[in-house]
């Protein structure tokens, strides 16, 4: 008699290859549409599932976990970030949490460089002119931007993605600087020709471009606050492909509107999809709808990691990407 298959509830639409494989391996409940579950729907899903596969749009707090019942044993997050999950409360209730680290590294680093170029070379402005049919011909002074070669790049958070950004920026001829909780080992730092700054304030004041590549934790909330933003050069650009909460968005908006910063490229926002409307009015700001990891290849790889975590758990072993409180 075959063993009973795990009940797996998926909260959002995933790529077809991932959904098909989930159906093959587990008693998988898939979504017919791609809207986020309501809190009530999420609670009901957690009560009937052995394994929940959520995404960053699902905020799983202590209250939801308390009402989940006894059946749920694994939250196999589809994504690397786990700040939307109360990992400590899950652990206290005997629920394991896993994620998909490393998969989005290269895609997010690509988008970081794309945003740097888009802001410094004024690509959206040029695109807007062309789409509106307003281009009358080349002019030596039209749409002048700045080059990134030779500029100092300050990376805030030198993990996998930060290092991938550094490698790309190095190829563009940028000078690499970084601030991190711990200094990198010499064998990592030296090939990047990277300069470590123990003081974030000192680094921020000297950079031409700041790239935010650290996770959102209590210690990084508004790490780039109003005081620290004011340390930046008036010509400097800030790029964020990590988490919106790391930057005080209101303070950033005020400074950009006042001409106290050179520009910003933002793929994430402090209040999720509720983007400060004043940011949309600024020509030196490039806004993207959280596209940093949005490649088909990356999304399928994320799904493969989710499946591996669930399958390993189903076989009676610890998921390879289990997250413990305080890990990220």
pLDDT in tens, 173-183: 999 999 999 99
With residue 307 as reference, give the H or E element that holds it.
helix 296-314
Q: Could you give the angle at which helices 296-314 and 16-25 cross, rounded to 10 degrees?
A: 10
pLDDT in tens, 88-143: 999 999 999 999 999 999 999 999 999 999 999 999 999 999 999 999 999 999 99
List Cβ<8 Å contacts ≥24 apart for 30-35: none
pLDDT in tens, 14-34: 999 999 999 999 999 999 989
pLDDT in tens, 263-272: 999 999 999 8
- Positions of CATH 3.40.50.720 in the chain: 7-103+295-314, 105-133+143-287
Residue 1: which pLDDT band, with cuts at 50, 70 and 90? very low
Give the fold, CATH level 3, of 105-133+143-287.
Answer: Rossmann fold (3.40.50)
Are the beta carbons of 89 and 65 closer than 8 angstroms? Answer: yes
Structure tokens at 82: 């786990």
pLDDT at 154 over 60: yes
Strands (E), 222-283: 237-240, 263-266
What is the structure's pLDDT at 325?
A: 77
Neighbours of 282 (CB within 10 A): 14
Whole-number Å distance between alpha carbons of 144 and 187: 39
Q: Report which DSSP code applies to 289.
A: S
Residue 3: which pLDDT band, with cuts at 50, 70 and 90? low
Are the beta carbons of 45 and 11 closer than 8 angstroms? Answer: yes
Whole-number Å distance between alpha carbons of 239 and 210: 6
Q: Which residue has the tokens 């340390």?
A: 231
pLDDT at 165 over 50: yes
Average pLDDT over residues 155-160: 96
Query: Which tops the pLDDT comparison, 325 or 273?
Result: 273
Whole-number Å distance between alpha carbons of 260 and 178: 23
pLDDT in tens, 24-66: 999 999 999 899 999 999 999 999 999 999 999 999 999 999 9
What is the structure's pLDDT at 60?
A: 97
Calculate the alpha carbon distances from 117 to 63, 111, 147, 161, 235 in Å: 43, 10, 8, 18, 15
CATH superfamily of 7-103+295-314: NAD(P)-binding Rossmann-like Domain (3.40.50.720)
Q: How many CA atoms lie within 13 A of 245 on its CB side?
A: 12
């Amino acid at each position: 008699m075959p063993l009973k298959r795990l009940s797996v509830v998926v909260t959002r639409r995933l790529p077809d290859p991932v959904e098909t494989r989930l159906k093959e391996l587990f008693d998988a409940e898939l979504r017919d549409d791609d809207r986020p579950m309501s809190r009530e729907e999420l609670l009901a899903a957690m009560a009937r599932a052995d394994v929940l596969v959520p995404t960053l749009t699902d905020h799983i707090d202590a209250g939801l976990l308390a009402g989940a019942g006894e059946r749920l044993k694994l939250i196999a997050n589809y994504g690397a970030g786990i700040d939307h999950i109360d990992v400590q409360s899950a652990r206290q209730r005997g629920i394991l949490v896993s994620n998909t680290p490393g998969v989005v590294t290269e895609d997010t680093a690509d988008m970081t460089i794309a945003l740097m170029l888009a802001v410094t070379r004024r690509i959206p402005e040029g695109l807007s002119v062309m789409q509106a049919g307003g281009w009358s011909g080349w002019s030596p002074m039209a749409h002048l931007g700045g080059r990134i070669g030779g500029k100092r790049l300050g990376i805030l958070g030198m993990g996998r993605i930060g290092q991938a950004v550094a490698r790309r920026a190095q190829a563009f001829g940028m000078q690499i600087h970084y601030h991190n909780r711990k200094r990198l080992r010499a064998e990592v730092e030296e090939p990047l020709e990277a300069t470590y700054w123990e003081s974030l304030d000192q680094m921020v004041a000297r950079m031409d471009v700041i790239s935010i590549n650290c996770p959102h934790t209590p210690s990084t909330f508004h790490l780039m606050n109003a005081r620290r933003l004011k340390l930046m050069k008036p010509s400097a650009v800030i790029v964020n492909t990590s988490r919106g909460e790391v930057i005080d968005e209101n303070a950033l908006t005020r400074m950009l509107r006042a001409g106290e910063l050179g520009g910003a490229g933002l793929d994430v926002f402090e209040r999720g999809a509720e983007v400060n409307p004043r940011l949309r009015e600024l020509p030196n700001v490039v806004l993207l709808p959280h596209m940093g990891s949005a490649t088909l290849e990356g999304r399928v790889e994320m799904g493969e990691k989710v499946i591996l975590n669930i399958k390993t758990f189903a076989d009676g072993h610890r998921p390879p990407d289990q997250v413990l409180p305080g890990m990220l």
